[in-house]
Amino acid sequence: MGRPSLLLPLCASVSLLGGLTFGYELAVISGALLPLQLDFGLSCSQQELLVGSLLLGALLASLVGGFLIDRYGRKQAILGSNLVLLAGSLSLGLASSLTWLVLGRSMAGFAISLSSMACCIYVSELVGPRQRGVLVSLYEAGITVGILLSYALNYVLARAPWGWRHMFGWAAAPALLQSLSLLLLPAGTGDAAAHKDLIPLQGGEATKLGLGSPRYSFLDLFRARDNMRDRTTVGLGLVLFQQLTGQPNVLSYASTIFHSVGFRGGSSAVLASVGLGAVKVAATLTAMGLVDRAGRRALLLAGCALMALSVSGIGLVSFAVPMDSGPGCRAVPNATKLSGLPGDSSPPRGLSPPLLPTSSQNPSQPVFPTSEKTKHHPRAGDPPAPSASALRTTPPPPPPAPEHTLLHWTALVCMMVFVSAFSFGFGPVTWLVLSEIYPVEIRGRAFAFCNSFNWAANLFISLSFLDLIGAIGLSWTFLLYGLTAVLGLGFIYLFVPETKNQSLAEIDQQFQKRRFTLSSGRRQSSAGIQYSRIEVSAAS
């Protein structure tokens, strides 16, 4: 019976290629933005609109995508999202105005958000408890690989004529490959014909989904029925804390942070894009190996604790090292050559390097290049933007004082630890837990509801970063993120249960039988919880 043995690699390809598409679409704008700005003469606000359009499309998908996933099925939702992505890539590749660019980026955001939700749910339902953690986490690994791939292609295509059109067009490749894999997989666990194929992977779990299944409305997410209210509390808590710890900003403003604590010139661009990206890949692969051994809860606790320590460390370092204000986007429109591209070894000081976009999980992280986000609103009395010639002739800054060298490297280590901690904790595990804790009949809508808060919080944190720095300073901003991570650590300890090595049916029973109290988190991993395993006959 060769078909079941083929299902596992096909499920892995669906998860990996979905994440690859997500990460590529998030990251590609950082390499395409500068040539787009030069070709279309984009102002700062137009750049913000272009970058933010992806977030707006993703937020829209999170609001309506759950109903599409539950109504038409997981497989159909992924295929539909790939069609939308292809249309968006075509709009971007052939764009002749800002309107078409914004439309294409919005469609891409809608597609990757819908696909991210459907992929995690689809894979978690197809495979059994022993494979679920690895295969759903593979989506996050795909995101990190997609980010690095986008930077590699951005570098190769930067000097090519209309290279940005090719950058956007290549996003269609993993989506097409994913669609081919999906055509060989069953529609889902609700399909009676699929049960025979799924039994070797699921261990009979899929047969629970059949006649007599309960019906849930969207409002049931906030009611006591089957303890849905506590499930929603767990889901919302995870997505909000992963954003409120400041992870979009630590990555999006990596170059600015490095520049502020003493790393000058092109080194910060390399550290931000290549160094942090490589760390994300390594940490996510580590999470894949541990998520079904150490467990979801253990990775979340360890990751959140390290995030609290490392982001607080960045804040403390910034107290000791004199801070420089970041470069403004006002300097970019006057630039007459592409700095930081192949063959250019001396980028102007006033033009910030491209930044590493964030990812989430899950599915969810925005791209805010420093060149457009470091300065939003010119204030009265600000000096005029320097000309391109002035930027090129500005002498390099003096080297940092010897006593600050150790602190500079401490900041780098803290940044690496923060990225690693997020990538083996909140990054993959949040979306894995969300795909497990809800009943199948409402899983799509519940996942989308939590995902909408993820995108909204991501947008809020990113847009408020500069204002927050202006109000309380960079050091206190990162210390505030550290305090939030400590609160997130307490939330995980008290409320998030352990779900490793449990079928979806057993997880559902765990939530139905228990009402989480302030001490319930400690008891989730104990052996005292009893389950009634669903037996499946060979005839089913």
Between CA 358 and CA 276 the distance in angstroms is 10
Q: Is residue 504 part of a domain?
A: yes
Shared domain check, 305 and 158: no
pLDDT tens-place string over residues 256-276: 666 665 555 544 444 555 677
Looking at the structure, do residues 436 and 299 belong to the same domain, yes or no? Answer: yes
Helix (H) or strand (E) holding 311: helix 296-320
Backbone angles phi and psi of 15, in degrees to 5: -65, -50
C-alpha dihedral (88, 368, 140, 491), degrees to nearest 10: -130
* Pair (166, 251) in one structural domain: no
- The answer to whether the beta carbons of residues 124 and 69 sit under 8 Å apart is no
437 residue type, one letter? I
Residues 315 and 261 in one domain: yes
Is pTM beyond 0.75 here?
Answer: no
**In this structure, is the dihedral angle defined by the CA atoms of residues 475, 478, 482 and 488, taken in order, positive or negative?**
positive
Same domain assignment for residues 306 and 411: yes
Q: Is residue 163 part of a domain?
A: yes
393-432 exposure pattern, b = at least 16 Cβ within 10 A, e = fewer = eeeeeeebeeebeebbebbbebbbbbbbbbbbbbbbbbbb
Q: Of 168, 185, 202, which residue constitutes the final position of a domain?
A: 185
The DSSP element (H or E) to which 145 belongs, if any, is helix 129-157
- Pick the residue with more confidence: 513 or 166? 166
On the 0-12 / 13-18 / 19+ scale of CB atoms within 10 A, 161 is exposed
Query: Is 197 among the domain residues?
Result: no
In this structure, the answer to whether residues 168 and 231 fall within a common structural domain is no
pLDDT at 379: 40
354 sits in which H/E element: none
Residue 462 — very low, low, confident or very high, per pLDDT cuts 50/70/90? confident
Clarify whether residues 226 and 168 are in a common domain. Answer: no
Flag whether pLDDT at 524 surpasses 90: no
State the pLDDT at residue 111: 95
Do 283 and 423 touch, CB atoms closer than 8 A? yes
- Alpha-carbon distance 493 to 516, whole Å? 12
Residue type, 384: P
155 and 12 in a common domain: yes
The Cα 208–Cα 426 span in angstroms is 30
CB atoms within 10 A of CB 256: 26
Q: Is 168 found in the same domain as 313?
A: no
Q: Are 67 and 445 in contact (CB under 8 A)?
A: yes
Q: What is the CATH number of the domain that holds 88?
A: 1.20.1250.20
Domain that holds residue 494: 219-323+402-513
| pLDDT surpasses 80 at 421 | yes
Position 485 in a domain: yes
Residue 500 — pLDDT band, cuts 50, 70, 90?
A: confident
In a domain, 388, yes or no: no
pLDDT tens track for 52-110: 888 889 989 988 988 899 888 899 999 999 999 999 999 998 988 999 999 999 999 99
* Number of domains observed in the structure of the chain: 2
Q: Which one, of 149, 139, 150, lies nearest residue 112 by Cα?
A: 139
- Rounded Cα distance, 136 and 58, in Å: 20
Residue 20 has pLDDT above 70, yes or no: yes
Q: How far apart are CA 56 and CA 374, in angstroms?
A: 20
Tens-digit pLDDT profile for residues 343-371: 333 333 333 333 433 444 444 444 444 44
> Cβ distance 174 to 112 under 8 Å?
no
In tens, the pLDDT along 24-55 reads 998 888 778 778 888 888 887 788 788 888 88
